Amino acid sequence: MPGTTVPGSPTAAASTAAVPASGADVGGAPGGGVPAKGAGTAGAGSRSGESTLALKRRARRINRALAEQYPYAHAELDFRNPFELLVATVLSAQTTDVTVNLITPLLFARYPDARAMAEADAAELEAIIKPTGFFRAKTKNLLALGNRLVDEFDGVVPGRLEDLVTLPGVGRKTANVVLGNAFGIPGITVDTHFGRLARRFGWTESDDPVRIESDVAELFEPRDWTMLSHRVVFHGRRVCHSRKPACGACAVANWCPSFGLGETDPAKAAKLLKYELAPGNEQLLGKLLAETHRAAEIRMESQRRVP
Ligand code: SF4
C-alpha cells in the first residue's frame, strides 16, 4: 500500500507505537477481557484503527507472504494414518515434535492400532514414551484413549470434532490437527506459537485458544485454515520467536504491527533464525524449496542426522 500509512507497516509501527519490552507478547494482556468483535483497544497488535476489511486484507497478505516463504510447510509430526497422528499429537504436549518423531517409529511398531494400545503393558509403554516427558500421565491417557476408541468407535479414530474432543487427552487443538491433516477437514490449530503470532499480527487480542480460533476463522476462508496453521507455526518456530523475534529478517515485517518487538538489524536478526533458515543451512533450505513434495521426508532425514 505505497503512499499510505498502514497499520502493518514497519514505518507506522516505528513512528506511532512505542516498542514493547522485548519478550512481551502484544495485545494479549493476561486477564484482559474478551473484546467485542472488531472493537480493538489501543496498542500495537490490536485491531485498533483498522476496519474489518482492512484487517482481513492484511491478514491474507501475511498468509500469502508466509506461503511464499514456506511452500514446504507441513505437519511436523510424522504419521501414516489418523491413529498415529492422534497419538503423536497427544505425546507432543510439553515437548518438541522432533522428540516425538524420534520415539514414534518404535511406539507404532509395538502398538500399531487402538486395540494394541488398549492392551499395552503400562510399564513398557512408559519406557518407550519416557523421552517425551510427563510419561506417566501420557501413558494413562494413551491407555484410556485406546480403550475408548475400541469401546466407543470400534477402534477407529472418529472424523468429527465433537467426537474427538471426548477422547482422553484430546482437546480442540489436537482434534483440529487430526481433522486438518488426517481427514482433510479444515481446522485452525491454536498452539503456543499460533496464539503468540495471531496476537502479534493483530488478528486477535485474546489469550484464550477458543477465542483465538474464532477470531482468526473470521479472517480466512475455511479452505485456508489448515495450511495457514502450518505456516504460522513454522514462522513462530523459525523467525518470530517468543523471546527474540527476528524482525529484521522477517518476510511479513511490512504487514506486522509488532515490527520492532525484536531485533530489526537485518544482519543481527538473520543470526536468530532457526532450522532451515538458520545461517549455514542453505543447502537444506535449497532442497526443501526444490522438492516441496518431499518436504516431510527431507525434514525427517535432516532430523535423523542431528544427534
Ligand atoms: S518477527 Fe515478524 S511477525 Fe514477528 S513481531 Fe517481528 S515483524 Fe512481526
Q: Each residue of 279-298: pLDDT tens digit?
A: 999 999 999 999 999 998 89
101 burial level (CB within 10 Å; 0-12, 13-18, 19+): buried
Query: Which residue is associated with the grid cell 492422534?
Result: 86
Residue 216 CA, ligand 1 centroid: distance in Å: 17
Which of 182, 205, 227 is the last residue before a domain boundary? 182
Select which of 138, 173, 207, 215 is catalytic: 173
Active site residue 138: no
pLDDT at 305: 64
Atom of ligand 1 nearest to the CA of 245: 1
Q: 178 and 171 in contact (C-beta within 8 Å)?
A: no
Question: Does ligand 1 come within 6 angstroms of the Cβ of 250?
Answer: yes
Residue 53 CA, ligand 1 centroid: distance in Å: 22
* Mean of pLDDT values over 11-28: 30
User: Which one of the listed residues 191, 207, 215, 287 is annotated catalytic?
Assistant: 191
Sign, CA torsion 231/234/236/240: negative
Residue 248 lies in a domain: yes
If asked whether residues 216 and 250 sit together in one domain, one would say yes
Of 201, 244, 252, best ligand 1 pocket probe by most atoms within 8 Å of the beta carbon: 252
State how far the Cα of 83 lies from the Cα of 95, in Å rounded to an integer: 19
Is 191 annotated as catalytic? yes
Instruction: Tell me which of 241 and 8 has the higher pLDDT.
Output: 241
Q: Is 94 left (phi over 0), alpha (psi -120 to 50) or beta?
A: left
**Dist. CA 30 → ligand 1 center (Å):** 20
Q: Are residues 135 and 150 in the same domain?
A: yes
pLDDT at 37 over 50: no
Q: How confident is the model at residue 230 (pLDDT cuts 50, 70, 90)?
A: very high
Residue to mutate, 11, 69, 196, 200, ligand 1, most ligand atoms under 8 Å from C-beta: 200
Give the structural domain span for 17: 10-69+189-273
- CA–centroid distance, 171 to ligand 1, in Å, is 28
In a domain, 283, yes or no: no
- Looking at residue 300, its pLDDT comes to 81
Q: Are residues 248 and 109 in the same domain?
A: no
Q: Is the CB of 200 under 6 A from ligand 1?
A: yes
What pLDDT, on a 0 to 100 scale, did the predictor assign at position 47?
57
Residue 247: alpha-carbon gap to chain centroid: 19
Does residue 63 share a domain with residue 198? yes
Single out the residue in 167, 182, 197 at which a domain terminates: 182
